[in-house]
Structure 1
Amino acid sequence: MDAKEGSAGPVDEQLTGELLRLALEAARRAGELLRDGRPADLGVAAVKSSPVDVVTEMDLAAEKLIAGFLSERRPEDALLGEEGASSEGASGVRWIVDPLDGTVNYLYGRPDWAVSIGVEYQGRTVVGVVEAPMRAETYSAVLGGGAQSNGKPLRCRPAAPMDQALIGTGFGYLQGRRAHQADVVQQIIPRVRDIRRCGSAAIDLCDVAAGRLDGYYERGLAPWDLTAGVLIAREAGALTGGRPGQPASGELVLAATEAVFDPLQQLLEALGAWHD
């Protein structure tokens, strides 16, 4: 749901409770596999959009683990996985899985990577879980039920003007897109406190939820990058969306505190941050 849309209708608490429990367990198992099973000689298994957009054997193993776990427990559900473990379903539930968000960080041994699992029911995101093993943090949210980190409630930062805002962003892997994104950042940085670049969209969105960022934006994200994190940020009190009047999408994802959302969205629109 975009920041400007009306409130969502009721959700089935019994169903969302089951989906949350399974998402937490699947993310925990995949996170342990990635943390404890990372080989010392980890290398690139494949490339995607460009030679620097990589997949490791551990991305594939984590997605296989999650897909197998979910298919055993809810065989009628649909699944959309970043690495291709996708299936149709008949239950109205769809799992949207990024088994390793922040693959380049993981490849280099950096700590900012996560397992991201979002769950839709009848087209609406109702559950989000982001497991960040190297932070020892598990973020979760249920539509209308708030957001948590390790069982404690999450709230975004108190309102502060944009010139005092710490903003997160990310960059795509296509050369032309990266060049334009750098131009956009060059225009934004004089107008805010500072810019941070983490390398995991899921973690950036959770950092907005946890008050570690005042806002975050990025172009070019896929559903598995944003579904869980956007719900977590919104349930923690952040405003979320894309271009003005639009929901978060591959064109643009934006999550920010109430004071920062509108001016940042207007600036991103003026700078053409939503296109290459």
Structure 2
Amino acid sequence: MTDPLTAELLGHALEAARRAGELLRDGRPADLGVAATKSSPIDVVTEMDLAAEKLITGYLADHRPDDGVLGEEGASSPGTSGVRWVVDPLDGTVNYLYGLPNWAVSIAAEYQGETVVGVVAVPMRGETCHAVRGGGAWVAGGGPLRCRPAAPLDQALVSTGFNYVQKVREHQAEVARRLIPRVRDIRRSGSAAVDLCDVAAGRLDGYYERGLHSWDLAAGVLIAEEAGALTGGRPGEPASGELTLAATPAVFGPLQTLLDEAGAWHD
């Protein structure tokens, strides 16, 4: 992977995320409604999810026509360059639907199967986090991102999310019930990309969730790692749909053990 290529991919990811973020922030209809559902009646897609993905994939096709794309709302092409873009045009759709501010545009670039660039734009915060593998994590217009200093698990602020399938949600609620007495407190923001960036920025000590897809986690996991956080899934495995975990080095091991004991990836 050459530095000029990495720089080019980062530039395109930042620009595509900026354009999509502006579209979503400034173009949200007052009467925004649900355009479709996915895994369940509460797993929704809006017309703005679709419009933002079309904008991003169109931009990338214009500037990098040989690259592959994987988008949450259906964009998929293999490409021939060795680069694949992994796009979540609107992470936190339910928040966006209700007018809550915690939503993001998440764009990652993979090269030969490895995530090398990650950008997460959070327009309602006026904040864009980005990272290049081996180059640290940064907030645009600001300084480097670093996860929080060491703290024991019982002083950790931890965030999580819940699946849209009822059976899975019920089990996740039980896992959270077992976790609450062991940590400082639990938060639920509604956006995996935002939570991962909050770990990177030192606003959370840890984050875990079951049921994520590659577009939910690709950019945010890289940003968290480059900010000094540890990431993974089940013990000895990388972050995946079974479990995504990101935390400070002091919290990661104890939290992973606790989630293992609670069977966080089983129904």
Count of residues in Structure 1 that have an aligned counterpart in Structure 2: 266
Q: CA RMSD in A?
A: 0.5
Equivalences for 1:27-66 in 2 at 5 Å? 27-66=17-56
- Give 3-state SS (helix, strand or coil) of 2:105's partner: strand
How big is the shift at 1:270?
Answer: 1.2
2:202 aligned partner: 211
* Cα deviation, residue 88, structure 1: 1.5
Task: Give the structure 1 partner of residue 152 of structure 2.
Answer: 161
Q: In the alignment, what sits opposite 2:190?
A: 199
Letter in 2 for 1:263: P
Please give the residue correspondences for 1:229-248 in structure 2 after superposition, counting only pairs within 5 Å.
229-248=220-239
What is the 5 A alignment of 1:77-96? 77-96=67-86
User: What residue is the counterpart of 1:26 in the other structure?
Assistant: 16
Letter in 2 for 1:132: V
How far the C-alpha of 1:150 sits from its partner, in A, is: 2.0
SS of residue in 2 equivalent to 1:28: helix
Q: Match for 1:266 among 243, 257, 260? A: 257
**Aligned partner of 1:265: which letter?**
Q
**TM-score of the superposition, structure 2-length normalised?**
0.99
Q: SS of the residue aligned with 1:120?
A: strand
2:89 corresponds to 1:99: yes
Q: Distance in 2 between matches of 1:47 and 1:83?
A: 11
Residue in 2 aligned with 1:139? 129
The offset of 1:262, in angstroms, is 0.3
Matched, 1:149 2:139: yes
Paired residue for 2:241? 250
SS at match of 2:77: coil
| Inter-partner Cα distance in structure 1 for 2:248 and 2:78 | 36
Distance apart, 1:220 and its partner CA: 0.1
Whole-angstrom distance in 1 between the partners of 2:36 and 2:198: 29
Q: State the match for 1:112 in structure 2.
A: 102
Please give the per-residue CA displacement for 1:144-174, whole angstroms capped at 9, x wherever unaligned.
0000012410000000000000000000000
| One-letter identity of the residue aligned with 1:20 | L
Per the alignment, residue 8 of structure 1 pairs with: none
What per-residue deviation string (whole Å, max 9, x for no partner) do you get for residues 240-268 of structure 1?
Answer: 00001100000000000011000100111
Say which SS state the counterpart of residue 167 (structure 1) adopts: strand
Q: Does 1:187 align with 2:178?
A: yes
Q: Partners in 1 of 2:263 and 2:66 — Cα distance?
A: 41
CA distance in 2, matches of 1:136, 1:77: 29
SS at 1:179's partner residue? helix
Cα separation, 2, equivalents of 1:50 and 1:35 = 26
Question: What's the counterpart of residue 228 of structure 1?
Answer: 219
Unaligned runs of 5+ in 1: 1-10
Alpha-carbon distance in structure 1 between the residues aligned to 2:206 and 2:15 = 29
User: Corresponding residue for 1:4?
Assistant: none
What does residue 5 of structure 2 align with?
15
C-alpha distance in 2 between matches for 1:49 and 1:160: 37
User: What TM-score, normalized to structure 1?
Assistant: 0.96
- Which structure 2 segments of 5+ residues have no match? none
Q: Which amino acid aligns with 1:224?
A: W
**For 1:28-58, what per-residue CA distance to the aligned partner results, in whole angstroms no more than 9, with x for missing partners?**
0000000000000000000000000000000
Identity %: 77
